[in-house]
């Protein structure tokens, strides 16, 4: 029974993920098209429904219709359900792939999850899924409570709970959908330290991925983090700090964004935007008013994204760590890429660079497409494409103006961006015993 399940999943997990996600999105789009989903009571266009469903399921957060004002409570629940499936569901699948089928993590790391895995039995699988869901729901519940406290000051308790639950789920899953209305995201909370801290906490924890979460929960007992956890934590921290500094410095004198704010406010806005750019997608300031250099820097952050098996997107923090390690190794003339005094297998480094290059190729292709169909500044287009690919959800304002062809391109990018790196990495895995014939080696000059 267990072996059969594994063989079924192992046959072509990327295909299963892909078709499963596509079906969920189509089903969600149909639900959103029901007249009871929109406040106007009329059925929206299929492409807008598909856009919204894709954005929710791929936890992106780019919206063509304002979530708060356009959709009814029914519509909100559909969106929320899609976010949960897309966030936690994907997290579960990714964890299953990574831990059980691919055996890509070390024995030590597998020991961390020993009791929940109990390999070799179908119960182990079920227990793992249950654990992922439990962690996610636990964090979401805490988030909902914390949000509700804050919202209760501004609205009735019922509405506060409703908003609390919605935003907690949306933001923990790095979906970036909000109910604030008029595409305002969290602009009104830019100075609210409580809201900032809660939201950043949810985004960061959601972006860690299950393996790291499990490792964190287990820390007291083992007193030692796995290599994977250490890489994720340090890269995440490093990127947040660097991002904050860059945004802070570049925008310090920009009066269209934070130039006229106080020092502390400037720092808080920079910190929040640094955190949200790597997948969160809610914003406390209008990023279209940032300087070009800041926006380009944010594009790089969006491309890097969150950590593997998390609710976030991008090429992932670990991949980025490998790239940085590879460049350092190159500069210092070393052959081995070393992270925290651990050498990485050459094959894995190669995988990281190739996946990254492929992702750059996708972003370039998407940008080319959008540049032909849309009439907008190039940076705005590049920003939108990277945001879709990295399932971030930030926008310089292009989403609302997209043509039909542009919407289709962004839908494809969100879909590819959510599944891409994982399935790509999976597809890149060695397939032993399949090489029947190898060509003789040839040489060409490179560089």
Residues 329-388 that bind a copy of itself (CB under 8 A): 330-331, 333, 335-336, 338-346, 348-358, 360-361, 364, 367-368, 371-372, 377-379, 381-382
| x-or-dash string of contact with a copy of itself, 205-224, rule CB under 8 A | ----x-x-------------
Q: Which does 274 bind (CB under 5 to 8 A by kind): a copy of itself, K ion, none?
A: none
Nearest to 398 by CA among 197, 183, 93: 183
* Shortest reach from residue 425's CB to a copy of itself, in Å: 3
* Shortest reach from residue 161's CB to a copy of itself, in Å: 36
Q: Which does 174 bind (CB under 5 to 8 A by kind): a copy of itself, K ion, none?
A: K ion
Residues linked to residue 339 through DSSP beta bridges, in sequence order = 342
The yes or no reply on residue 252 touching a copy of itself (CB under 8 A) is: no
Q: Which does 378 bind (CB under 5 to 8 A by kind): K ion, a copy of itself, none?
A: a copy of itself
Is beta strand 337-339 parallel, antiparallel or unpaired with respect to 342-344?
antiparallel
Which of 41, 158, 433, 447 touches a copy of itself (CB under 8 A)? 447
Phi, psi of 104 (to 5 degrees): -85, -10
* Shortest reach from residue 349's CB to K ion, in Å: 28
Residue 373: Cβ-neighbour burial (10 angstroms; 0-12, 13-18, 19+): middle
Residue 408: which residues within 8 A CB-CB, separation 6 or more? 47
What's the distance, CA 276 to chain centroid? 10
Cβ(9)–Cβ(366) below 8 Å? no
Q: Which does 293 bind (CB under 5 to 8 A by kind): a copy of itself, K ion, none?
A: a copy of itself
Nearer residue to K ion within complex by CB, 351 or 418: 418
The yes or no reply on residue 390 touching K ion (CB under 5 A) is: no
- Considering only residues 3 to 62 of the shown chain, the ones binding a copy of itself according to CB under 8 A are none
Cβ(305)–Cβ(317) below 8 Å? yes
Q: Three-class SS of residue 337?
A: strand
Distance CA 74, CA 90 (A): 23
User: Which parts of this chain interact with K ion (CB under 5 A)?
Assistant: 61, 174, 176, 281, 393
């Amino acid at each position: 029974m267990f072996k059969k399940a594994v063989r079924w999943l192992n046959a072509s997990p990327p295909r299963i993920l892909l078709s499963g996600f596509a079906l969920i999105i189509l089903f969600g789009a149909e639900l959103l098209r029901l007249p009871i989903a929109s406040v106007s009571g009329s059925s929206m266009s299929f492409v807008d429904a598909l856009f919204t469903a894709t954005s929710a399921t791929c936890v992106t957060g780019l919206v063509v219709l304002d979530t708060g004002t356009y959709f009814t409570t029914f519509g909100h629940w559909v969106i929320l359900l899609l976010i949960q499936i897309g966030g936690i569901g994907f997290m579960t699948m990714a964890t299953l792939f990574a831990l059980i089928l691919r055996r890509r993590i070390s024995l030590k790391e597998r020991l961390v999850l020993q009791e929940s895995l109990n390999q070799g039995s179908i119960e182990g699988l079920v227990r793992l899924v249950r654990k992922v869901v439990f962690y996610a729901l636990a964090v979401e519940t805490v988030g909902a409570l914390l949000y509700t406290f804050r919202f209760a000051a501004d609205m009735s308790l019922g509405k506060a709970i409703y908003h609390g639950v919605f935003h907690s789920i949306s933001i923990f899953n790095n979906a970036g959908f909000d109910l604030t209305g008029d595409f305002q995201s969290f602009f009104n909370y830019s100075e609210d330290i409580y809201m900032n801290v809660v939201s950043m906490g949810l985004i960061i924890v959601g972006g860690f991925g299950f393996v790291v979460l499990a490792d964190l929960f287990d820390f007291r007992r083992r007193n030692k983090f796995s290599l994977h956890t250490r890489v994720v934590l340090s890269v995440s921290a490093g990127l947040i700090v660097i991002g904050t500094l860059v945004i802070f410095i570049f925008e310090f004198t920009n009066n269209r964004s934070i130039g006229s704010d106080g020092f502390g406010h400037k720092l808080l806005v920079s910190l929040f935007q640094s955190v949200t750019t790597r997948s969160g997608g809610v914003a406390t300031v209008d990023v279209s008013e940032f300087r070009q250099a800041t926006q380009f820097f944010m594009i790089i952050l969006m491309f890097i994204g969150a950590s593997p098996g998390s609710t976030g997107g991008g090429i992932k923090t670990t991949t980025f760590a490998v790239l940085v390690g590879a460049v350092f190794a190159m500069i210092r003339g070393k052959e081995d890429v070393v992270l925290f005094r651990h050498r990485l297998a050459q094959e894995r480094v190669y995988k990281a660079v190739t996946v990254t290059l492929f992702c750059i190729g996708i972003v370039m292709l998407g940008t080319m497409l959008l540049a032909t169909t849309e009439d907008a500044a190039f940076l705005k287009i590049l920003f939108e494409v990277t945001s879709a690919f990295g399932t971030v959800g930030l926008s310089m304002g292009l989403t609302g103006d997209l043509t039909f062809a542009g919407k289709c391109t962004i839908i494809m990018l969100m879909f590819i961006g959510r599944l891409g790196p994982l399935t790509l990495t999976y597809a890149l895995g060695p397939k032993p015993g399949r090489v029947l014939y190898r060509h003789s080696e040839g040489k060409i000059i490179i560089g």
